[in-house]
Amino acid sequence: MRTAGRAPSAALSATVGPQAGGGGVPLSLADCIFFCKNKMAYSISAQNFVALSDLHPNLARPSIIGVIIGKTDAKGFPDRRNIGSERFTFSFTIRDSPTYFINVHSWGREEYIRSLSESFRVGDCVTIENPLVQTKETEKEEKFNPPTPSCYKLLLSENHSVVKICSRYEAGTQLLSLLHLPVKDRQDFYSLGDIVANGQSLDGRIINVLAAVKFVGEPKYFITSDKRKGQRCEVKLYDETEMSFPMICWDNESIQLAQSWMPRDTVIFASDVRINFDKFRNCMTATVISKTIITTNPDTPEANNMFSFVKETAELGLLDDEIEDQSKESINLQSIVDIYTVEQVKTKAVQNQGKPEPIYGIIYAYLSTLNIDNNASKIIRNRCSRCRYVVNETSNICTFCSDSPSDANSVFTSFDVLVDLTDHTGTLYSCNLSDSIAEETLDCTVQEFLTLTEGQKTALKWHLLLERSKIYFKGFLSPSSRTGLRVNLLSCKLADPVEASQNFSGKGKKLHCMSF
């Protein structure tokens, strides 16, 4: 990767690292020569800016320029000087070269801090005028903040410091390219399989992870016990060694960043994430913390190999059958309001061709095909407990984990039913009704279903068949699907007759209108 570097006060060595903090990035000698020849070669003239590597407390009114690579939420704390009031703070990390970045902190009134915090995001280029350069206490500073190669930190004053946003044109591609360079050694990371294999021995550890983004959940909001607003978003990661691994985001900044990721087309290098064992789910998880810096689509050989893996899995359709992201825990049904007819779903899918976004909506339709009273083996599958993929029935081996389940706990049974949905405009064939959504629709678990007699299965079938239902769905074009359109049911319940009649006749308030 070739990027413009800083204007150093001394020549770069073959390995540039921090004197305090362990946050430097090793460079080859060729890179060092390149960066020295092109120091501060940005679109904005560099003469007015001080390189981060040259900052020191005795500088008078320094100005710096860089890209934001990390940022925390604005938070309030009790003000010890004014009992009953709060002071607010937030911090961010700015970078101006492959080897140098520094933490910036701001304290002040709530109005000032929130306004400043909301004025820029991770990935923006900013200039900072007149920050206070202060020697950092490394151990204290890096307990809750990203480790940096600088022995200083910057403080912003409401009355004396100014932060301005630069356009991407002003910043220049060489400065913006720093956003794709990890802040840690590109080879210093755990594979997801290594994390799972090490298990609880990694509980509480802070490590680096390189992985692809498989799924980004909807943000969920809540109120804490002390009446503060909170949020949570779960991201599913995968790599060659593990097909599904949860990463949790608790702060608004990382959630907004995650929402920009394109599943199955994004690779991240997450430095300093915390690994924990989730006792409730009996699995390892990663959590984004205040020390974490996430590099989106890093430009490294290891990341390029990951991109190749992502491309191969997409071409082979290895993730098309994934059912984990269909659960209601991952999708907020309340956010789905658009009502479609069958014909509109088909038209919308064609309009969305080439776009990564799936279609979410509601259909009031009949289940016109529901074959649950035939061979149970056609609607019930064994899945690997580790990656949730279908286990080969003949070999009893999980294709992705390359592991032969040795006991009953290695697999679990789930519904995998294909249904047809019909309304007055047409039929959607072979829609997926799977896992917990199928259990809720049929009102029985797999184990309970297997105990039913053939007569009871037929009665259950006709209780739902040809009855108008309110169906939440996710749809997208899929070349591997027999019809070319894959529709996954997110919820399927018998519809309220009045509500269904209003929407079926086009009188519903939220009826989706197609635009041509």
pLDDT, tens only, 60-107: 999 999 999 999 999 988 887 888 788 899 999 999 999 999 999 999
Confidence of residue 225 (pLDDT cuts 50, 70, 90): confident
Domain 327-401+408-505 has CATH 2.40.50.140: yes
Domain boundaries, the chain: 63-180, 192-319, 327-401+408-505
Mean pLDDT value across residues 367-387: 80
Residue 389's pLDDT band, with cuts at 50, 70 and 90, is: low
According to the model, what pLDDT value does residue 379 have? 87
Q: What is the DSSP string of 426-494?
A: EEEEEEEEEHHHHHHHHTS-HHHHHTS-HHHHHHHHHHHBTSEEEEEEEEEE-TTSTTSEEEEEEEEEE
Listed residue (345, 250, 322, 245) closest to 480, CA to CA:
322
Q: What percent of the chain has pLDDT over 70?
A: 78
Q: Which of 213-217, 370-374, 391-395, 469-473 has the lowest mean pLDDT?
A: 391-395
Going by C-beta distance under 8 Å and a sequence separation of 6 or more, which residues neighbour residue 283? 196, 246, 277
Question: Is it true that 192-319 and 327-401+408-505 share their CATH fold?
Answer: yes
Q: How far is CA 264 from CA 123, 237, 327, 360, 440, in A?
A: 21, 9, 18, 18, 29
**108, pLDDT greater than 70:** yes
pLDDT for 33 beyond 50? no
CATH superfamily of 63-180: Nucleic acid-binding proteins (2.40.50.140)
- Say if CB 108 and CB 115 are below 8 A apart: no
**Residue 505: helix, strand or coil by DSSP?**
coil
Instruction: Report domain 192-319's class.
Output: mainly beta
Q: Give the list of residues 6+ apart from residue 56 with CB closer than 8 angstroms, or none.
A: 133, 152
Six token digits for residue 321? 């059958």
- pTM value? 0.58
